[in-house]
Amino acid sequence: MSLNIPEQLKKYCIVSTDGTIIDRFKCPVPGCEFKTRLGPGAVRMHILIKADPRSDTRYSPEHEEYFKQYESELTLDTVRDLAKIPYRPVSYKKE
């Protein structure tokens, strides 16, 4: 079984080694190491928070530039589309 991840959205995903599930979601901003199993909405929120210049402690100019460039891709519809693809839940414990 292969995952049907739209090409432009693959940059937000880390697929499991067997290719059957999204193992984690990641921030595609170069140099950012943010990864999560909380779902695609957590990556979107991460980018939005880091892109806000009013937040001195969290602001990242790289995230702001990324947000400006890919704003049309960082919508709730995109989050819904990614959430429909099977992904490993937070409570997953590797045996």
Domain boundaries, the chain: 7-83
pTM of the model: 0.87
How high is the pLDDT of residue 89?
82
Beta bridge partners of 36: 25
Strands 35-36 and 22-26: antiparallel
62 within 8 A of 53, measured Cβ to Cβ:
no
Angle at 89 (CA atoms; ends 88, 94), nearest 5 degrees: 70
Q: Alpha helices, DSSP H only, in the chain? A: 40-50, 61-70, 76-83
pLDDT of residue 90: 79
Query: How high is the pLDDT of residue 62?
Result: 97
pLDDT for 55:
87
Per-residue pLDDT of the chain (95 residues; tens, 9 = 90+): 578 899 999 999 999 999 899 999 999 999 999 999 999 999 999 999 999 999 889 999 999 999 999 999 999 999 999 999 999 887 756 65
Structural tokens at position 35: 């990864």
